[in-house]
Amino acid sequence: MTTTEATVERRSQSHRAIQKLVDHRTQMLALYGELAAHRPYVGGDQNEYIVNLLQRFCQSLIDYTADAHFRLYRFVDNNKERRASVADIAEVVYPYIESSTQTILDFNDKYDSDEHCKDLTALEKDLSTLGETLADRIEQEDRLVDVLSINRRQSSK
């Protein structure tokens, strides 16, 4: 494989990673919206549905977070990114991603099982905080995705 072919393959892998990230993110945000639409969170018949939806959301949230880390950020984290423009923006963005990952993990730890979902009194506040964190994270991710996409378009010309 020539250097040019290897570069094209790496960029193609990068594009697939971005698409997968966007797909996971879209699915997670759809579940977030569905969950947020059911407030206020009260007991009774609604509670079983909310707990199930919350657990599906938590799984989707973790899938999205892991996918972003392992598909997108690991190259930057391992100093394997060769494109200076990508490495530069990643250096700025990555601390935000790390911080938001901790918030995501904390939310998941609080609501990831039936036992943890018995008390939903703080769910509305926790979802609001998580929503702000996700909005910031997505904004930062998109900065990196934009640079990756620009580099991909330039290399295919």
> What is 42-103 written as a DSSP string?
-STHHHHHHHHHHHHHHHHHHHHHHHIIIIIIHHHHTT----HHHHHHHHHHHHHHHHHHHH
Where residue 155 falls among pLDDT bands split at 50, 70, 90? very low
pTM exceeding the 0.85 threshold for the entire prediction: no
Length of the chain (residues):
157
Q: What are the residues whose beta carbons fall under 8 Å from the beta carbon of 150, sequence distance 6 or more?
A: 85
Q: What does the pLDDT average to over 101-125?
A: 86
Q: How far apart are CA 92 and CA 140, in angstroms?
A: 9
Q: How far apart are CA 99 and CA 113, in angstroms?
A: 23
39 phi-psi bin (left φ>0, alpha ψ -120 to 50, beta other): beta
pLDDT of 55 reads 92
Is residue 149 helix, strand or coil? Answer: helix
Q: What is the CA radius of gyration of the chain?
A: 18
How confident is the prediction for the chain on average, in pLDDT?
81
Domain borders along the chain are 3-155
Render pLDDT for 68-112 as a digit per residue (tens, 0 to 9): 877 666 656 656 556 677 778 888 888 888 899 999 999 999 998
CATH annotation of 3-155:
1.20.120.1370
